[in-house]
């Protein structure tokens, strides 16, 4: 059996490091910060770790809302393709900085690309 993407990336520790660094970049990005500055970032990081663990095939207790429902308030506030692309770029940069192999970065980015329509409510 082929190990999951979650296991190949490095498991919980790697997912947490990725999410933590990603949110540092998001909060430093003036175009993205307004969508997140009112949130409890600790809770947001925990939710994102649980979501990515599930999305990458790891053991997850993710019980959050579906992507469309969770992002609908942000879409009403103007979340669009430019914002989605910026988050994706920050994620790719983060994975590269953490020395994730290029083929695994590609798998992650394919998963992310597949969420665009749901995130943006299309």
Its pTM stands at 0.90
Calculate the CA 6 to chain-centre distance: 13
pLDDT on residue 60? 76
Question: Per-residue confidence of the chain (122 residues) as pLDDT tens digits?
Answer: 789 999 999 999 999 999 999 999 999 999 999 999 888 999 999 999 998 999 999 997 777 788 899 889 999 999 999 999 999 999 999 999 999 999 999 999 999 999 999 999 99
Q: Could you tell me the domains of the chain? A: 12-119 (1.10.490.10)
The three-class DSSP label of residue 54 is helix
pLDDT on residue 83? 96
| End-to-end Cα, the chain, rounded Å | 35
């Amino acid at each position: 059996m082929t190990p999951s993407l979650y296991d190949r990336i490095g498991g919980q520790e790697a997912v947490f490091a990725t999410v933590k660094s990603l949110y540092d970049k998001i909060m430093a990005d003036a175009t993205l910060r307004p969508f997140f500055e009112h949130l409890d970032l600790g809770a947001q990081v925990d939710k994102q770790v649980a979501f990515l663990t599930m999305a990458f095939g790891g053991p997850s207790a993710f019980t959050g809302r579906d992507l469309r429902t969770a992002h609908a308030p942000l879409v009403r506030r103007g979340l669009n393709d430019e914002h989605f692309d910026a988050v994706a770029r920050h994620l790719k940069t983060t994975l590269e900085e953490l020395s994730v192999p290029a083929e695994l970065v590609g798998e992650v980015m394919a998963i992310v690309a597949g969420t665009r329509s749901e995130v943006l409510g299309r």
